[in-house]
Amino acid sequence: MSERPAGHFITLEGGEGTGKSTLAKALARKLEAAGIQAVLTREPGGTPLAEAARHLLLHPPEGEAWSPLSEALLVNAARRDHLEKLIRPALARGDWVICDRFADSTRVYQSIDGGVALNTLLSIEREVLGDTIPSMTLVLDVSLDVARERRAVRAGALDAFERRPDAFHEAVQAAFLAIAKAEPGRCRLIDAGQTAEEVAEASWAHIRSLMDDQGKVLP
């Protein structure tokens, strides 16, 4: 039996501007402060090949676009590389992994707007993930108005997804909420309209429950 408790795989999901990246950093800091090795990563991306795929996805050559199925396969190819080279080795070491977006984002973004059938996406997901299913998924829920303001405030050029109209962001948020409702064992819905500190505290309370399960005493 290994001396270290197994690491946990935590994924953060929600629309653009809900605060995922902000929360991911805060949680990684909290885990480190609790003496737990944490790997902070993101999707699409996380490894050199997956980051290259991310660039092709978010910034396709001028005038070019991926078909929905091609796009779904590309993000899944990136995910498989990420799992094989970064996520699984980290979990095997006993580290925790915090991933900014994961498979639920593919279910959402690649199925809406006449995309790929959800059953097809779920079957690809099963094949790609195997046993590596997140211990916990925090789904960030915030009003569309607040998310829009946060996207506007954030520095940098908007990418292909962020530039979509309001109806798209509304469908995205509804799809994430549906996943949270359908999988209450894995997913925790977080009120992301609070301050960043409050969002981190509410999320930390859920994450602590994973540690309590391991019998660890925590700060």
Ligand X SMILES: Nc1ncnc2c1ncn2[C@@H]1O[C@H](COP(=O)(O)OP(=O)(O)O)[C@@H](O)[C@H]1O
Q: Which H/E stretch holds residue 109?
A: helix 103-109
Among 1, 114, 184, 195, the residue binding ligand X under the rule CB under 6 A is 195
Please tell me the distance from the alpha carbon of residue 64 to that of residue 54, in angstroms, as a whole number.
15
Q: How many residues bind ligand X (CB under 6 A)?
A: 14
Q: Is 164 in the site for ligand X (CB under 6 A)?
A: no
β pairing state of 96-100 and 136-141: unpaired
Residue 19 interacts with ligand X (CB under 6 A)?
yes
Cβ atoms of 38 and 31 closer than 8 Å:
yes
Work out how close the CB of 211 gets to ligand X at its nearest, in angstroms, rounded to a whole number. 23
- Alpha-carbon span 106 to 102, nearest angstrom: 7
Q: In 3-state terms, what secondary structure has residue 107?
A: helix
Task: Pick the piece of the chain touching ligand X (CB under 6 A) from 20-28, 48-56, 60-68, 105-113.
Answer: 20-28
199 binds, among ligand X, Mg ion, none (CB under 5 to 8 A by kind): ligand X
- The amino acid sitting at 114 is G
21 binds Mg ion (CB under 5 A): yes
By C-beta, is 20 or 107 nearer to Mg ion? 20
Q: Which of 62, 151, 47 is nearest to 99 (CA)?
A: 47
Shortest Cβ distance from residue 171 to Mg ion (Å)? 19
Please state the closest distance from residue 202 (CB atom) to ligand X, in A: 10
At its nearest, how many Å lie between ligand X and the CB of residue 212?
25
Question: What tokens does 172 get?
Answer: 């995205």
Q: For ligand X, which stretch binds (CB under 6 A), given 76-84, 166-174, 180-188, 195-203?
A: 195-203
CA dist 115 and 132 (Å) reads 25
Q: Which residues bind Mg ion (CB under 5 A)?
A: 20-21
